[in-house]
Amino acid sequence: MNLLDKTIFFAYWCLRPGESIVDREEELLNSKQVAVILDMSPDTVNEFARKNILPAFKKGKQWRFRKRDISIFYKKQPKDIRDA
């Protein structure tokens, strides 16, 4: 089980009463959180957002990422890159 699978598994079991997994997938992440998931620096995450490599949007001056979009991006990466 890779890091992202562990994160999703943990998030599923930590749902609050009345919260669905769909709600959790709509959760917004910041650059530091995405950097941990994708194993890259927050600066690289922000650069990828600016270049439209990572799906993101600005909330004030900060980049925000939907957890669902990061999961999809991660799964699209070749296995050798994900496991590096």
- CA separation for the pair 55, 48 (Å, rounded): 9
- CA separation for the pair 53, 47 (Å, rounded): 8
The dihedral built from the CA positions of residue 51, 57, 62 and 64, taken in this order, carries a sign that is negative
pLDDT (0 to 100) of residue 21: 53
Q: Based on the structure, what is the number of domains in the chain? A: 1
Domain carrying residue 55: 3-82
- CA separation for the pair 20, 16 (Å, rounded): 8
CATH number at residue 19: 1.10.10
pTM of the model: 0.67
Q: 6 or 72, which is more confident? A: 72
Whether the pLDDT of residue 77 is over 90: the answer is no
